[in-house]
Amino acid sequence: MTRVMLFARSCCIQGVRMASTLVGRSGREYLRDKILKHNPKNPDLSVYLARCGNQNFVLKHVSPSIFEQSLELKQEFPETRRLRVHDDDNEAERILIYNHFSDNLLSLVKNNPNMSIAPRKRILWELGQALREFHAKNWIHIDVKPDNVMVDYRYDQDGQLRPERVVLGDLDCSLKLKGGKLLHLPDGIKIGNVMWRSPEAQTGQGIGKPSDVFSYGLVSACTPSPVWKPCTRISSS
């Protein structure tokens, strides 16, 4: 009886180990850690932190259509440093494996209210360059917002925050336009966050590159301690 219990326990532990690891297309083995974003409706779609060697990664289970589009994006932007395309994947489980970043812009400015103007300008400049790179190949993001801007940073010897890498992430909703055609969504469907949508995205009609630029402008203007100081009012006298 004791042997049976020990054997069952051994099998159970082995099953847990197998479930906690994932092998990517590259052959690297990733060890699942904590949940970064829980999906209450479908726990299998929760986003996980994982480790491979001494590096952190993010594991994200996606739908077949998003998985295929992600492969297309990786082929189209193989050397990008400003777009968060996946670093590795597991086709059988449809899991995308991303590099882990220190923070996103939304929580970064919230947790660093005294961040100086220089790193803010650097982050927004890098975001603008990311959109420029994306738009150059006729892709539109459709969901530009602070929590989709990932930032790696460090603190210098004076305690000042220094961005090291900035990327535009969450490319799941992105779309490649055909020629000069704009995106028209049926039945009033809307994509993206209501706070950062362009006027045309609010109606779901005529969405294009300018829509991303509008959202970028909102991110730049509405981020706490905005980059541009308010205009000085000129006295009528």
- Radius of gyration over every alpha carbon of the chain, rounded to an integer in angstroms: 21
How many C-beta atoms lie closer than 10 Å to residue 161's C-beta?
19
Check residues 146 and 203 and name the one with the higher pLDDT: 146
What is the rounded distance in angstroms from the CA atom of residue 223 to the CA atom of residue 203?
24
126-172 confidence digits (pLDDT tens) = 999 999 999 999 999 999 999 999 999 999 999 999 999 999 999 99
Average pLDDT, the chain: 87
What residue segments make up the domains of the chain, in order of their start? 24-99, 103-222
pLDDT band at 185 (very low <50, low <70, confident <90, very high): confident
161 bridge partner residues: 155
- Percent of the chain at pLDDT > 70 equals 86
Phi, psi (degrees; rounded to nearest 5) at 72: -65, -45
- Degrees, nearest 5: CA angle 31-25-139: 105
pTM of the model: 0.83
pLDDT at 147 (0 to 100): 94
Looking at 3.40.50, 3.30.200, 1.20.1070, 1.10.3470, the CATH number of the domain 24-99 comes to: 3.30.200
CATH entry 1.10.760.10 includes domain 103-222: no
Check residues 77 and 115 and name the one with the higher pLDDT: 77
52 bridge partner residues: 55
What is the rounded distance in angstroms from the CA atom of residue 54 to the CA atom of residue 49?
13
Residue 18 has pLDDT above 70, yes or no: no
Residue 12 has pLDDT above 70, yes or no: no
What is the rounded distance in angstroms from the CA atom of residue 182 to the CA atom of residue 27?
40
Contact present, 47 and 19 (Cβ < 8 Å): no
**Residue 114 identity (one-letter amino acid):** N
Residue 3 has pLDDT above 70, yes or no: no
What is the rounded distance in angstroms from the CA atom of residue 82 to the CA atom of residue 237?
49
pLDDT band at 19 (very low <50, low <70, confident <90, very high): low
34-58 confidence digits (pLDDT tens) = 999 988 888 878 899 999 999 999 9
What is the rounded distance in angstroms from the CA atom of residue 160 to the CA atom of residue 91?
42
